Structure 1
């Protein structure tokens, strides 16, 4: 039985994306061509590989077998390509990275810029995911590495400290005084998330890692987090909040930066979970392609203890 690497990579993209449309886009194929390739792969194997439903597709038990072995093959091929590239005059390849909202917005861009300037032949496939989902994906071999909070289950993974990140609340000063009381606008004031959960929120879009993280925190305290306005970046949250609409929760570096240009009150959260340590997690550093190992090294160098 012969396998086409293009088909195997496509099938991985479909399985990870949850739909043939998403897989086709990542594989740079038309939907019709991707569907035809999947059908031909199923015919060649004599087994259905996907369960098709209204919300997308999922691998069948046979499909899970293909996913497991295809990931191993693609990973080994990436190793070979990287080692050969070093002999051919420059490192080449791709690194798949998953990360949470704070890492994507505040901490990764500068590190990636320096890394990619040093390694012009390396591409980075970067995707935002909640920390829990990102760790699962790395454990399953669906990504080379992830940047997550160390509060998630990291069993079976190697983890290296990257950055500390604090979540804070932002509000227009008048709005903060009206909704939360005079004390929260003074320097050093803190507020519990339970006091904010019932206040109209300006949040990141519902598919963002941070919004889902905050929604879980609200749910644990018996509340339903409601965002009156949803936007796509920390800066946009701060801009809307500065206009007097609700309260936002963002990473502290973004809040402090925006407060220099906007009329914002930055309020520390009293909850222990608001102070987080971001870590880089991998299944096995030694088994990563060389380009991924180098990126992990660059990320680890950012930790200051």
Structure 2
């Protein structure tokens, strides 16, 4: 038996209105088309589904069974349509974002919190990754009494022999910094490693050493701790945060909405 959802929708419309004319109108079909479709349904099933009367139609026993099974199917189809519409309009889905340490700590939390509040059915998976193209505004932080504190900018090579407080080597940002030190044939002089920027800045303020961290992080924690902020002159340290994806066609509606939000100042 080959009945499609359009057949079932027409049949229920006829039953609910009590006439083939009314059912055809509700199903947005011409009367002749609706009558022909109903005839084919009855031929496919092999028994009449409706009793035709001068004042309309009533269901046969077979028609009652068909209606009883058709209604839940149509209701499920409507729920499915609504669920798929949520994906199509970007209101539902799972998005995966890779971000460097700076973006994860300073840019994404506030942006994502507001966006996710407006899109409660969208799940976002974030993962910290190393990316030389999106390392942003790396600066060196030192205690206020440090000899370098008088300078506005220094070369990265000038701080390699200084005692430093650093993130753990599992951090994408720390891996990036130490890679540039290795390219100069040196290793960082790390006294202690911390798991987060707050710990780094507090250690710097208490004279444990300098630290290399993003500008936005340094400026944020300088309001809480006392340390000088010095710019790194190296080109690799002057990076801008980028949004990277294959092409527009590869983006889901939800991802397009998120990218539009993240581009806002």
TM-score band (shorter)? 0.5 to 0.7
1:115-130 equivalences in 2 (<5 Å): 115-130=115-130
Matches of 1:226 and 1:262, distance apart in 2 = 23
1:250–1:87 CA distance, 2 compared to 1 (3 A) = closer
Matches of 1:295 and 1:227, distance apart in 2 = 38
Matches of 2:173 and 2:190, distance apart in 1 = 13
Deviations 1:187-228 (A, max 9, x none): x62111101112222111111111111011101111112422
Query: Are positions 1:149 and 2:149 aligned together?
Result: no
What are the ranges of 5 or more consecutive residues in structure 1 without an aligned counterpart? 1-79, 133-147, 151-164, 178-183
1:257 pairs, out of 220, 223, 234, with: 220
Matches of 2:141 and 2:211, distance apart in 1 = 5
Structure 2 residue aligned with 1:280: 243
Give yes or no for contact 2:138–2:231 (8 Å, CA) kept in 1: yes
Query: Are positions 1:202 and 2:187 aligned together?
Result: no
Deviation at 1:81, TM superposition (A): 9.7
Structure 2 residue aligned with 1:103: 103
Structure 2 residue aligned with 1:185: 149
Q: For residue 281 of structure 1, give the secondary structure of its aligned residue in structure 2.
A: coil
Deviation at 1:82, TM superposition (A): 10
Give yes or no for contact 2:167–2:194 (8 Å, CA) kept in 1: yes
Give yes or no for contact 1:129–1:209 (8 Å, CA) kept in 2: yes
Instruction: Return the index of the structure with the highest Cα Rg.
Output: 2
Q: For residue 239 of structure 2, give the secondary structure of its aligned residue in structure 1.
A: strand
Bigger share in strand: 1
Query: Are positions 1:220 and 2:183 aligned together?
Result: yes
Deviation at 1:284, TM superposition (A): 2.2
Matches of 2:124 and 2:241, distance apart in 1 = 19
Q: What is the number of equivalent residue pairs in this alignment?
A: 186
Structure 2 residue aligned with 1:300: 263
Give yes or no for contact 1:82–1:291 (8 Å, CA) kept in 2: no
1:90–1:98 CA distance, 2 compared to 1 (3 A) = closer
TM-score, normalized by length of structure 2? 0.64
1:83–1:277 CA distance, 2 compared to 1 (3 A) = farther
Give yes or no for contact 2:87–2:253 (8 Å, CA) kept in 1: no
Structure 2 residue aligned with 1:29: none
1:270 pairs, out of 210, 214, 233, with: 233
What are the ranges of 5 or more consecutive residues in structure 2 without an aligned counterpart? 1-79
Give yes or no for contact 1:82–1:290 (8 Å, CA) kept in 2: no
Give yes or no for contact 1:202–1:228 (8 Å, CA) kept in 2: yes
